[in-house]
Amino acid sequence: MNEKEELKESEIKPIKEETAGLASAEAGESPAPVPPTGGREPGGEQKGPRFVSAVWAWLRAVVPGLALCVAIAVPSWFLGKLVPVIGSAVFAIVIGMVIAFFRRPQWLERGIKFSSKKILQASIVFLGFNMNFYTVVQVGKDSLLIILSTIATALVVSFVLSKLMKIPSVVGTLVGVGSSVCGGSAIAATAPVIRAKDGDVATAISVIFLFNVIAAFTFPALGTALGLSDTGFGMWAGTAVNDTSSVVAAGNSWASMHGSDVALNYATIVKLTRTLAIIPITLVLAIFVGVRAKRTANGGEAAGAGFSFVKIFPWFVLFFLAAAIVNTWAFPAMGVPSGVSSFLSEAGKFMIAVAMAAIGLNTNVIKLVKSGGKPILLGFVCWVCIAGVSLGVQSALGIL
């Protein structure tokens, strides 16, 4: 090899190595170490600088888009506080959708994608700090049957109607889970498990938001007309209204109308209990998606052969559960102030706003409008069925 060839090789080799490290960083992994060669890197002395270089390159690629999403989330957060019926997540996705009409530079895309996936998963973990297992046990005897009935109703209705109306199964699943469990949080937890696209998430969020607003304004009047008790209305709102903010809004309206906070407190407790269904639902969906993927890969062969549960398991769900356990037992044992749990939970909600901003930025509004009629009808039918089943089970149990 002559001098020119040696020089060319010495210039190209570091570029290849750094490119490999950057590719690993994109996958969320540490760059693979490159073994020393030619005596130029004895003992791996250059490994540290190369790792730092790869991390710096990854940060330069991700931070600009992430910063844009945070910039959208901040005003959305304050708007959500001013108008809790709508919530910060909806404001964030709407602002993102508006900005998406304008052309943006390519160097923002990595950070936007990171926000819509990884920040979304992290937000669910932080929401676990709002869970208390003692509360779940306390109200479980009264609410568990109703919660299971409404969840089963929504999932079955969404599955059947999505088939009949030829709605994509991913959208049908998101609408069903969002309607039955806890609105945007359930959609956020389920989306990465079933590999939903940003457009699918935006459609489901829009459908859930529509009926959140309707429920917040109509449920107190309907409950009064039906002659519900405070406990009955709290149970009804906690099981039939999709999102936590709208549950609280409906409970507040009832409290103002009837001069009692019983319904508000009960609705909130039932809603938090219902939120725990995120865990079994996402686990079941993860197994289903993995088995289906295995069958497709093997041309219909048995799914059990070589099935890797580790690869498809939604590990962030376990971290969500761990956060709830810490909040219930570890924090009190260590004397951690309750404000810490509130802060972590609020941080999770803000991260959802960041993720929703990213999803809005990746949403094609024109396509959403064209394909939104059927999902809206699906959401409406799920909502009516859930409300009806909740009242029916309560009536049978003598709670109303």
pLDDT per residue of the chain (400 residues) written in tens, 0 to 9: 444 444 444 444 444 444 444 344 333 444 444 444 444 544 445 666 888 888 899 999 999 999 999 999 999 999 888 877 677 877 888 899 899 988 899 999 999 989 988 898 888 788 778 777 776 566 666 778 888 898 899 889 998 998 898 888 888 888 988 888 877 778 877 887 787 887 788 888 888 877 877 887 788 889 888 888 888 898 899 888 887 767 877 887 787 778 777 787 788 778 877 877 777 887 788 777 777 766 665 544 444 444 445 554 557 767 887 888 898 899 989 999 988 988 998 898 899 889 889 988 987 666 656 656 888 889 899 989 999 999 998 888 877 7
The whole domain housing 371 covers 69-397
Task: Specify if 16 maps to a domain.
Answer: no
What is the pLDDT at residue 368?
Answer: 59
Q: In whole angstroms, what is the distance from residue 126 CA to residue 88 CA?
A: 16
Task: Specify if 63 maps to a domain.
Answer: no
Q: In whole angstroms, what is the distance from residue 179 CA to residue 150 CA?
A: 9
What is the pLDDT at residue 85?
Answer: 64
Q: In whole angstroms, what is the distance from residue 93 CA to residue 333 CA?
A: 39
Q: Rounded to whole angstroms, what are the CA distances from 43 to 14, 24, 40, 207, 303?
A: 17, 22, 10, 58, 45
Q: In whole angstroms, what is the distance from residue 239 CA to residue 246 CA?
A: 12
Task: Specify if 265 maps to a domain.
Answer: yes
Three state DSSP letters for the chain: CCHHHHHHHHHHHHHHHHHHHHHHHHCCCCCCCCCCCCCCCHHHCCHHHHHHHHHHHHHHHHHHHHHHHHHHHHHHHHHHHHCCCCCHHHHHHHHHHHHCCCCCCHHHHHHHHHHHHHHHHHHHHHHHHHCCHHHHHHHHHHHHHHHHHHHHHHHHHHHHHHHHCCCCHHHHHHHHHHHHHHCHHHHHHHCCCCCCCHHHHHHHHHHHHHHHHHHHHHHHHHHHHCCCCHHHHHHHHHHHCCCHHHHHHHHHHHHHHHCCCHHHHHHHHHHHHHHCCHHHHHHHHHHHHHHHHHHHHCCCCCCCCCCCHHHHCCHHHHHHHHHHHHHHHHHHHHCCCHHHHHHHHHHHHHHHHHHHHHHHHCCCHHHHHHHCHHHHHHHHHHHHHHHHHHHHHHHHHCCC
Task: Specify if 24 maps to a domain.
Answer: no
Task: Specify if 315 maps to a domain.
Answer: yes
What is the pLDDT at residue 74?
Answer: 96
CB contact at 8 A, 187 and 206? no
Domain total for the chain? 1
Task: Specify if 298 maps to a domain.
Answer: yes
Task: Specify if 184 maps to a domain.
Answer: yes
What is the pLDDT at residue 316?
Answer: 72
Task: Specify if 371 maps to a domain.
Answer: yes
Is the overall model pTM greater than 0.85, yes or no?
Answer: no
Which residues are within 8 A (CB) of 119 and not within 5 positions of it... i.e. 6 or more apart?
A: 66, 69, 351, 354, 355, 358
